[in-house]
Amino acid sequence: MIYFDNAATTPLDSEVYKTMCRVMKDQYGNPSSTHAAGRNSKVLIEDSRSAIAGFLDAKPSEIYFTSCATEAITTAIHGIVTSYGIRKIITTAIEHHAVTHAIDDVHKTTPVQVSFVRIDKDANLDLEHLEELLNEEEKAFVIIMHANNETGTLFPVQEISKLCKEYHALFLSDMVQSMGKYENLLSDHGPDITCCSAHKFHGPKGIGFLYLRGNTKITPLISGGGQERHMRSGTENIYGIAGMAKAFEVAYRDMSGNREYISNLKSYFVEKLKLNFPELIFNACCDSKGVYNIINVSVPDVYNNKLLLQKLDMNNIAVSGGSACNSGVVNVSHVLSALLANTAIPAIRFSFSKYNTVEELDKVLEVLREILFRK
Ligand code: PLP
């Protein structure tokens, strides 16, 4: 199988796998138990927390383990609105559904006003518009992602963060697609709140965290046994936590080499796609801008674009669709719609990882030529 769907999830790294197997075999104590087996598990959790915090320039006390990013985002959005009495949310139209649906849910019970910062078709965020929206009396809660999962668009988190500080707004940035790929994400100019899902960078599924900077305090979503300093009750997923810490270690150790390697794969593929299929439409930031592992293209009708994803799948190539899928069910992407892309034609997202190769890219190009040029 050629796996070009790494923005959906990534294969587990073999070092992470080994760490997790060791923990699963040897460390069964409940971290809340007071005996030695429990204490060992507790130590493992706290060591993992410190290691992750160290990679991110965060304090261990700012990290709360959750089951995934969706849980972290939901906790943060409900918690911030409730705890800070927020009545004004500023966001964008291209956030992940974990964000958009949590905002919709909050909106059902709380009279929040939701404003959208303007973005152009190349996904440039209008910072002046953000400032205009911030420059109103009400304390704002700004929710703007770092890297977009469909198009790879990167928003300027540091500049947004500076503006939010100036206007005393709270800033949540969904960094799911950039965690494990960039350094200094939580520096002084990082967001107040963010989230992580380990499976996006070769860690296990079912584990993530919520980051709350400094003194940001919120009402938890889940209460019970009081784990995670009462922020997230429920017996901790110790294998997942140890696996996520290992995934961070591997990602940070190999970061610059992997970034260069994957960026080169992306540039090579963009160049070849342009050469072979000049009518393809590159959606937002597919060239030099944007996160270095994602390409999103719309495939116009001049090509044989019917059942494209299914045909790639039949050729053992895994990618994601971004717009109309030709099976009769039209699943229009809110991201591509917001970027004014033509959502009546199919779109494909190719997303790469350190495990992909140029040979795989060439094979996919060959299959695409067979599919798209077939009469
Ligand atoms: N935010 C972004 C940008 C994502 O890409 C994803 C997953 O695709 C999520 C949030 C949610 O992550 P999870 O499904 O692991 O909770």
pLDDT in tens, 1-33: 999 999 999 999 999 999 999 999 999 999 999
Instruction: Please tell me the pTM assigned to this model.
Output: 0.96
* Domains of the chain, each with CATH number or no CATH: 2-10+255-372 (3.90.1150.10), 14-253 (3.40.640.10)
pLDDT in tens, 156-167: 999 999 999 999
So what's the pLDDT on residue 135?
87
Grouping H, G, I as helix, E, B as strand and the rest as coil, residue 347 is strand
Q: Taking 70 as the threshold, does the pLDDT of residue 324 lie above it?
A: no
Instruction: Please work out whether the CB of residue 175 comes within 6 Å of at least one atom of ligand 1.
Output: no
Closest ligand 1 atom to 68 CA: 16
64 to 59, 169, 218, 272: CA distances (angstroms): 11, 22, 12, 43
| Mean pLDDT for the stretch of residues 118-138 | 92
Q: Taking 80 as the threshold, does the pLDDT of residue 327 lie above it?
A: no
| Mean pLDDT for the stretch of residues 286-306 | 90
Q: Is 196 a catalytic residue?
A: no
So what's the pLDDT on residue 17?
98
Residues forming beta bridges with residue 170, ordered by sequence position: 141
Rounded CA-CA distance 291/6 in Å is: 12
> Among residues 33, 66, 61, 41, which one has the least CA distance to residue 49?
61
Instruction: Please work out whether the CB of residue 68 comes within 6 Å of at least one atom of ligand 1.
Output: yes
pLDDT in tens, 220-233: 999 999 999 999 99
Burial class (CB in 10 A: 0-12, 13-18, 19+), 316: exposed
Beta-carbon contacts of 176 under 8 Å, excluding residues fewer than 6 positions away, are: 69, 96, 147, 149, 195, 196, 197, 200
So what's the pLDDT on residue 284?
85
Rounded CA-CA distance 47/60 in Å is: 9
Closest ligand 1 atom to 208 CA: 15
Which residue is listed with tokens 């190539």?
Answer: 317
pLDDT in tens, 187-203: 888 999 999 999 999 99
Instruction: Please work out whether the CB of residue 177 comes within 6 Å of at least one atom of ligand 1.
Output: yes
So what's the pLDDT on residue 287?
61
pLDDT in tens, 65-86: 999 999 999 999 999 999 999 9
The fraction of the chain above a pLDDT of 90, given in percent, is 90
Q: Helices in 27-117 by DSSP H: which ranges?
A: 36-56, 69-83, 97-109
Instruction: Please work out whether the CB of residue 96 comes within 6 Å of at least one atom of ligand 1.
Output: yes
Q: Which of the two residues, 17 and 284, has the higher pLDDT score?
A: 17
| Mean pLDDT for the stretch of residues 117-122 | 92
**Best of 96, 178, 209, 333 for a ligand 1 pocket test (most atoms within 8 Å of beta carbon):** 96
So what's the pLDDT on residue 329?
52
| Mean pLDDT for the stretch of residues 44-61 | 97
| Mean pLDDT for the stretch of residues 210-237 | 96
| Mean pLDDT for the stretch of residues 309-321 | 96
Rounded distance from Cα 152 to ligand 1 centre (Å): 13
So what's the pLDDT on residue 122?
86
Contact 19, 210 (CB under 8 A): no
Confidence of residue 326 (pLDDT cuts 50, 70, 90): very low
Angle between helices 157-166 and 127-134 (to 10 degrees): 20
| Mean pLDDT for the stretch of residues 251-269 | 97
Which residue is listed with tokens 């100036």?
Answer: 166
pLDDT in tens, 90-118: 999 999 999 999 999 999 999 999 999 99
Contacts 24+ apart (CB under 8 A), 109-112: 110/81, 110/82, 110/86, 111/87, 112/81, 112/86, 112/87, 112/88
Q: Helices in the chain by DSSP H: which ranges?
A: 14-26, 36-56, 69-83, 97-109, 127-134, 157-166, 238-253, 255-276, 308-314, 334-338, 358-372
| Mean pLDDT for the stretch of residues 39-52 | 98
Rounded CA-CA distance 354/81 in Å is: 39
So what's the pLDDT on residue 331?
74
92 to 55, 79, 117, 127, 333: CA distances (angstroms): 28, 20, 5, 12, 14
So what's the pLDDT on residue 288?
63
Q: Whose CA is nearest to atom 7 of ligand 1?
A: 8
Instruction: Please work out whether the CB of residue 13 comes within 6 Å of at least one atom of ligand 1.
Output: no
| Mean pLDDT for the stretch of residues 172-182 | 97
Q: Which of the two residues, 285 and 298, has the higher pLDDT score?
A: 298
Give the tokens for residue 59.
Answer: 């304090």
